[in-house]
Amino acid sequence: MANDIKEKFRSIAIKGEAKNGYVTVVRYDRSFIARIIQNDAAKRYYSELKNYALSFGIKSRISWKFDTFYLGRTSFAIVKVKGRTLYLYLSLDPTGYDENIYHHKDVSDVKTYENCPMMVKVRSDLGLKKAKELLKTVAEARSLTEEERPFVDYEAELPYEETRTLILKGLIKEVETRMKEEEAERVIAEAESADVNDEEAEWVEFEVDESEDDEGEEVEFELAEDGEITEIRYDRSFTARIIQNDKAKEYYSDIKNFCLGFPLKSRISWKADTFRKGRCPYVMVKVRGKTLVLYLALDPQAYDENIYHHKDVSDLKTYVKCPMMVRVRSDLALRKAKMLIREMMQQADLHEKEIDPIDYTLDFPYEETDALIEKKLIKKIVRRVGIPAEGELPPEIPDDDAEEVEFELADEDTEEVEFELADDEEPQEAEPEEENEDAAEEEDEEGSDEVEFELVDASDDISGDMDDYEELDAEGRYVTLKKYERSFVAKMKQGSTERKDRYAAIKSEMLSYAGVKVRSSFAGETYMYGRQPLLKSRIRGKTLCLFFALDPEDYPVTVYHQQDKSKVRAYVDTPMMVRVKSELGMDRAFRLIEELIRLFALVRGEKKSYRDEYRFEETEALVEQGLIKARIVTVPRYEAEGLLKKK
CATH of the domain at 279: 3.90.1150
- 605-612: list long-range contacts, CB under 8 Å, 24+ apart: 605/512, 605/513, 605/514, 606/512, 607/508, 607/509, 607/511, 607/512, 608/508, 608/511, 608/512, 609/504, 609/508, 610/504, 610/507, 610/508, 610/511, 611/500, 611/501, 611/504
Per the structure, the complete domain to which residue 261 belongs is given by 239-362
pLDDT at 134: 94
pLDDT at 406: 30
pLDDT at 217: 59
- 206, amino acid identity: F
Domain contains 438: no
Domain contains 465: no
Domain contains 244: yes
Are 153 and 245 in a shared domain? no
Are 257 and 356 in a shared domain? yes
Domain contains 622: no
CB 359: neighbour CB atoms within 10 A?
10
| Residue 488 three-state SS | helix
Are 151 and 252 in a shared domain? no
Q: Enumerate residue ranges in the chain where pLDDT < 70.
A: 1-19, 190-218, 386-479, 633-647
| Closest CA relative to residue 552, chosen from 542, 541, 560, 540 | 560
Q: Which of 362, 391, 425 is the last residue of a domain?
A: 362
Strand partners, 428: 420
Instruction: Please give the Cα distance from 86 to 153 (Å, whole number).
Output: 17
DSSP summary character for residue 161: -
Instruction: Please give the Cα distance from 35 to 201 (Å, whole number).
Output: 13
- 317-321: list long-range contacts, CB under 8 Å, 24+ apart: 317/438, 318/213, 318/214, 318/436, 319/212, 319/284, 319/295, 321/280, 321/281, 321/297
| Closest CA relative to residue 240, chosen from 378, 429, 361 | 378
pLDDT at 162: 87
Residues listed for the chain: 647
CB 147: neighbour CB atoms within 10 A?
9
Rg (the chain; Cα; Å): 30
pLDDT at 26: 76
pTM comes to 0.48
pLDDT at 395: 37
Domain contains 485: no
Domain contains 170: no
Q: Which of 362, 379, 406 is the last residue of a domain?
A: 362
Query: What H or E segment, with its residue span, contains residue 637?
Result: helix 637-646
pLDDT at 613: 87
pLDDT at 636: 67
Domain contains 345: yes
Please tell me the total count of domains within the chain: 3
Do the beta carbons of residue 437 and residue 447 sit within 8 Å?
Answer: no
Domain contains 304: yes
